[in-house]
Amino acid sequence: MATGDGTLLARMRGVTRVYRRGGQDLRVLDGLDLDVERGDFLALMGPSGSGKSTILNLLGGLDRPDAGTIDVEGTEITGLSSDALAAWRARHVGFVFQAFNLIPVLTALENVELPLLLTPLSRAKRREHAQYALEIVGLKDRMDHRPKQLSGGQEQRVAIARAIATDPTMVLADEPTGDLDRASADAVLDILTRLVSEHGKTVAMVTHDPAAAKCAKRLLHLEKGVLVEQGTTHGA
Ligand code: ADP
Ligand code: MG
């Protein structure tokens, strides 16, 4: 059953990642295959240390595989130079992390504007795009607040606004609700769901939160480097 729009956005084939630690090789992924459809909302679950973040980082070009290919929207990202990969990432991927990672001395608006500094947009256009992103997460009225003046849930919503400011195709969220109370977590999940249903984004999320998994259209379980497809209770 298609959980996206039936067209392929990303294809990982034979992806292997080996970390070298203290003279020993740790083979986290060994020939992993994964297809992600455009418009999908994917939840990736599994025990700590199983390689979930590794998959997300490879998919978003933050890390490179030791073997295998990763094709996103027709670009074989494993073949790009470091500079080209960074430029590709800036245009195609927005990351959201568990710890928000906002810059404390900058306002919400300035935080969201940051990724736009890498684009040719004028100052006025940057502001416009950042304000629109903050509007999507329901925080336009907090744009002059610094992270310390926001709740954790609001900080994560600003981080999501920052992730979507450049209008990327893919949003990759690594345990986005891990540090949040239930109500804030639900607000974040609602936003991620709307990014898919209303804004045409494709979302891949690592999570331990059963409520988060329920929001996803597709649920994958990673165990010892092997991905197993699970059913979802999502209606769509
Ligand atoms: P998960 O997100 O499922 O908890 P990760 O993908 O972060 O797992 O990590 C998988 C394994 O790889 C873990 O054992 C982790 O310690 C190891 N690992 C991850 N990143 C590195 C790295 N940069 N150097 C060495 N080992 C790493
Ligand atoms: Mg992780």
pLDDT one-digit tens code per residue, 66-85:
999 999 999 999 999 999 99
Residue 73 lies in a domain: no
Number of domains in the chain: 1
215 occurs within a structural domain: yes
What is the pLDDT at residue 225?
A: 81
Domain of 145?
40-62+81-232
Q: Which residues pair with 18 in a beta bridge?
A: 27
Mean pLDDT of the chain: 94
Give the model confidence (pLDDT) of 199-216 as tens digits: 999 999 999 999 998 999
In this model, does residue 4 exceed pLDDT 90?
no
pLDDT tens, position by position, 144-181:
999 999 999 999 999 999 999 999 999 999 999 999 99
Dist. CA 200 → ligand 2 center (Å): 26
- Ligand at shortest distance from the CA of 98: 2
In the structure, how many helices (H) and strands (E) does the chain have?
Answer: 7, 10
Residue 195 lies in a domain: yes
- The number of residues making up the chain comes to 236
For residue 155, tell me if it sits in a domain.
yes
Inside any domain, residue 10: no
Above 70 in pLDDT, residue 27?
Answer: yes
Average pLDDT over residues 29-35: 95
Which numbered atom of ligand 1 lies nearest the CA of 46?
Answer: 3
101, part of any domain: yes
Asked whether 51 lines ligand 1 (CB < 6 A), one says: yes
Ligand nearest to the CA of 54: 1
Kindly report, residue by residue over 78-125, the tens digit of the pLDDT. Answer: 999 999 999 999 999 999 999 999 999 999 999 999 999 988 999 999
pTM: 0.95
Q: Is residue 112 part of a domain?
A: yes
Ligand 1 pocket, residue 50 CB under 6 Å:
yes
> Which CATH number do you get for residue 163?
3.40.50.300
Q: Answer yes or no: is 13 within a domain.
A: no
**Of the candidates 143, 142, 140, 151, the residue with the CA atom closest to the CA atom of residue 185:** 151
